[in-house]
Amino acid sequence: MNEALIHYLQKFHFTQFDLKAILFDMDGVLYDSMPAHDRSWRQTMDEMKLHYLPQEFYFQEGRVGQSTINTVFQRNLHRDATEEEIKRIYARKSELFQQYNSGAIFSGAAPLLRYIDASGLKPVLVTGSGQPSLLDRLETHFPGIFTPETMVTAFDVTEGKPHPEPYLRGLQKGGDLKPNQAFAVENAPLGIESAVAAGIFTIAVNTGPLSNSILSGAGASIVLSSMEELLKIIPETLHLIGRISI
């Protein structure tokens, strides 16, 4: 971790960290929901007889729905989907997701958020999701952690991941922070690209089927195997960053 932290400071021209917030992606980081997203996308595309690539929906994770649909349309039909098609396809995918999603939380996620909060750091959510019930669900599973003021959702941005806008908004909601005042926690290549483009030290947790090299290739400073591993190393990491300056 020490080396990764120093490498980040050199690359982004900072002399030290001044950590105030940790920005968390949601799907695949807090919730074990990616298998249900993947299954729902594949079934929706199968029903429409549209071809997709192996692990495509893990590679596409983090994009807004419209962008994922257009990628598949361009490959199969050499055109974007119409607004009506997007509405219909996204509705079907969402319907299937409701059916398949177990709502399971990753082990380690809740105690990690409580630890961050108790350490005086602000947990901020940065998700491309636009489900209206999101806040209620987060409040049930992680009580007192997130408020509308500390959440970036699909409704807060015009550009989805991999564009830096979601994480730049996250820095804003964290308290008008500079990139060296936050960490990002991501599981997906495009989410990592978004956070890195915003200039943030990005920790990848590899909770899915893609190889670690894809996540580090997207720009992650460090790749961990689980939220539990992050929970285990966070006290030492917070201690370390107070002592590092270059």
Q: Which residues bind Mg ion (CB under 5 A)?
A: 25, 27-28, 187-188
Return the number of the residue (60 or 180) whose C-beta is nearest Mg ion: 60
Return the number of the residue (72 or 188) whose C-beta is nearest Mg ion: 188
Structure tokens at 126: 């940065």
Return the number of the residue (191 or 199) whose C-beta is nearest Mg ion: 191
- 129-134 own/partner pairs: CB under 8 Å, 24+ apart: 129/26, 129/27, 129/153, 129/154, 130/64, 130/154, 130/155
Please classify residue 236 by burial: count the beta carbons closer than 10 Å to its beta carbon, then call 0-12 exposed, 13-18 middle and 19+ buried: exposed
User: Nearest approach, Cβ of 61 to Mg ion (angstroms)?
Assistant: 5
User: Nearest approach, Cβ of 80 to Mg ion (angstroms)?
Assistant: 24
Q: Measured between alpha carbons, how far is residue 243 from residues 44, 128, 176, 239 in Å?
A: 51, 34, 24, 7
Return the number of the residue (44 or 129) whose C-beta is nearest Mg ion: 129
**Residue in the shown chain whose Cβ atom is closest to Mg ion:** 28
Considering only CA atoms, give the Rg of the chain.
18
Return the number of the residue (32 or 168) whose C-beta is nearest Mg ion: 32
Is there a contact between 186 and 203 (Cβ–Cβ < 8 Å)?
yes
User: Nearest approach, Cβ of 245 to Mg ion (angstroms)?
Assistant: 32
Report the C-alpha gap between 6 and 8 in whole angstroms. 5
Report the C-alpha gap between 122 and 163 in whole angstroms. 23
